[in-house]
Amino acid sequence: MTVSPRLANLVSWDSDWAGLRVAVTGIGVSGFAAADTLIELGARVVVVDAATSDTARARADTLKIVGAADVLLGPDAVAHLPRIDGELPELIVTSPGWRPDQALLAAAARAHIPVWGDVELAWRVRVREGRKTADWLAITGTNGKTTTVGLTESMLRAAGLKAIAVGNVGTPILDALRDPVEYDVFAVELSSFQLHWAESVSPVASVCLNVAEDHVDWHGSYDSYLADKAKVYERTQKACIYNAEQVETERMVENADVVEGCRAVAFTTLTPAISMLGVVDGLLVDRAFIEERRDRAAELASMADLGPLAPRHMVANALAAAGLVRAYGVDAKAVRQGILDYVPGDHRIQPVARMNGVLWVNDSKATNPHAASASLSAFSKVVWIAGGLSKGVSYDDLVRDHAARLKAVVLIGTDTSHLREALQRHAPDVPVIEPGAGDTEGVETASAPGGTPAGTPGNGEQVMAWAVASAARLAESGDTVLMAPAAASMDQFSSYAHRGGTFIDAVRELVEGQAQTGEE
């Protein structure tokens, strides 16, 4: 698509944004930040969203107060291109969850109106006269992004740098750019959606942790998903970090158009070769960012520093984060201290309770088969709570690989047919429990305006209470009850965090109930 000279020249905060007609699609966290930023820059902004919730209306009222041209809510608002002072927008800035085939975005493509994501906008306004410009370390992957971005942030801070985790992790990059704190570096978590709409980002170092089939419904195909993930490496300045145990990420680096002099550096959970990070005798080591790398390795940390429950994927995440910060110039001591300082987030292989010899684990963040596989690999005998919004993926490999460790499966979700069929094909002897009539009274699925699935909190809580009670009847001493759904949450819950919190509440109620009856 041909970009107008004016848009091509918008490369800093101090560029000529005044009067630019911009439509922002979405009034969620990233959309609100984009609209607020553009208003501050002097653009003429209209914001559209299918939502009509109290939260959406409150955000709309706030934007109107600070000077947005207009805020349009409801399904009709997203069905066509809006007008700004009677004219079509010159630019669309979209929230990452909006699919390219959504009606308004498709209309923009037909009208040859450029579409940027909030990440692209952030990159273009990052340089501001009189303020320090933060460097970017970019992180993507099907799984492990949030852990790795948190570890990266922690290592950078241990080195004495002003650093913050931003992007898909929760804090919009645009908010961090406008923070009074002048950061040295951003650890930027990027989803495949955000990368799809990014065209000019040039990080100091970048990594794609891993790839597996995910979000096929959004991207249209697995190949398209991989192509968007690969964009994380484009224009990288110093080092492209890739997973030596997954050839797809190596091919991404080989095909990337990078800044001259940029290195390709691999990480592995095995013994590293030259120009790699890996593991030797229980130590995380660096053979990439030292002068003597041909016959030596720099010790970064020990496996024990990662905590008592450090599955293989956690080791990989720590090595990837180390690769990024070592490329940035952080010393080995800060890498170890960053690992020690890091506090893991909730909902990722999170022990919840141990009762009657049964370990209860919340991994609600396992929203796809690849993440669930990493979680299942950490345990030997599992009562598995699984199911949800499948996003068009296959479960055959997941079930085949872990059938031997499954004692029983408790299915949740409004449509478990694909997972059930995979279990029938590859684990026919494993008991599969599903809710019967009356087990989860009132369970149904709602849709948000515009057709996006939305959680129905009461129903989800009933489903989870039933699932936990069912798992408790099946589990015996030595078993692990693992809630790793391998699916998104929005068919019955508002988010993976809501789903995980509901599981934790149900387990705690079970524990308290058994304690009162003297069963514990």
Cross-sheet strand order for the sheet of 205-208? 163-167, 185-189, 135-140, 205-208, 239-243, 263-267, 276-280, 283-286, 298-302
Q: Is 317 known to sit in a ligand binding site?
A: no
Q: Is 171 known to sit in a ligand binding site?
A: no
Strands 44-49 and 70-73 turn out to be parallel
| Integer Cα distance of 182 and 169 in angstroms | 20
| Integer Cα distance of 133 and 512 in angstroms | 52
| Integer Cα distance of 132 and 157 in angstroms | 17
- Asked whether 311 and 303 are in contact (CB, 8 A), the reply is no
The angle subtended at Cα 37 by Cα 32 and Cα 40, nearest 5°, is: 130
Q: Which two tokens stand for residue 128?
A: 């501001």
| Integer Cα distance of 90 and 48 in angstroms | 15
CATH pick for 20-113 out of 3.30.70.141, 3.10.580.10, 3.40.50.1010, 3.40.50.720: 3.40.50.720
Q: In three state form, how does the secondary structure of 115-182 look?
A: EEEHHHHHHHHCCCCCCCCCEEEEEECCCCHHHHHHHHHHHHHHCCCCEEEEECCCCCHHHHHCCCCC
Q: Is the pLDDT of residue 486 over 80?
A: yes
| Integer Cα distance of 485 and 390 in angstroms | 9
> What mean pLDDT, rounded, does the chain reach?
89
| Integer Cα distance of 35 and 23 in angstroms | 9
Going from the C-alpha of 117 to that of each of 26, 31, 97, 476, the distances in angstroms are 11, 9, 10, 49
Q: Is the pLDDT of residue 517 over 80?
A: no
| Integer Cα distance of 455 and 390 in angstroms | 15
Going from the C-alpha of 144 to that of each of 20, 173, 209, 228, 372, the distances in angstroms are 38, 19, 7, 17, 12
Region 350-515: CATH code = 3.90.190.20
| Residue ranges covered by each domain of the chain | 20-113, 125-341, 350-515
Q: Do domains 20-113 and 125-341 have the same CATH topology?
A: no
| Integer Cα distance of 16 and 7 in angstroms | 9
128-179 pLDDT tens trace: 999 999 999 999 998 889 899 999 999 999 999 999 999 987 789 999 999 9
- Asked whether 365 and 303 are in contact (CB, 8 A), the reply is no
Contacts of 181 (CB under 8 A, 6+ apart): 162, 164
Q: Is 144 known to sit in a ligand binding site?
A: yes
| Integer Cα distance of 177 and 166 in angstroms | 10
Q: Is 345 known to sit in a ligand binding site?
A: no
- Asked whether 82 and 46 are in contact (CB, 8 A), the reply is yes
- Asked whether 366 and 484 are in contact (CB, 8 A), the reply is yes
For 207, what's the count of Cα atoms within 13 Å in the CB-facing half-sphere?
A: 35
Q: Which residue has the higher pLDDT, 98 or 444?
A: 98
Q: Is 143 known to sit in a ligand binding site?
A: yes
pLDDT at 207: 98
> Nearest to residue 249, comparing CAs of 258, 261, 240?
240
Residue with tokens 């993976």: 496
Q: Which two tokens stand for residue 349?
A: 């292989």
271-321 pLDDT tens trace: 999 999 999 999 999 999 998 888 899 999 999 998 766 778 889 999 999
pTM of the model: 0.75
89-125 pLDDT tens trace: 999 999 988 999 999 999 999 999 999 999 999 999 9
Q: Is 94 known to sit in a ligand binding site?
A: no
Percent of the chain with pLDDT over 70: 92
Chain centre to alpha carbon of residue 470: 30
| Integer Cα distance of 267 and 285 in angstroms | 10
Region 125-341: CATH code = 3.40.1190.10
Q: Is 362 known to sit in a ligand binding site?
A: no
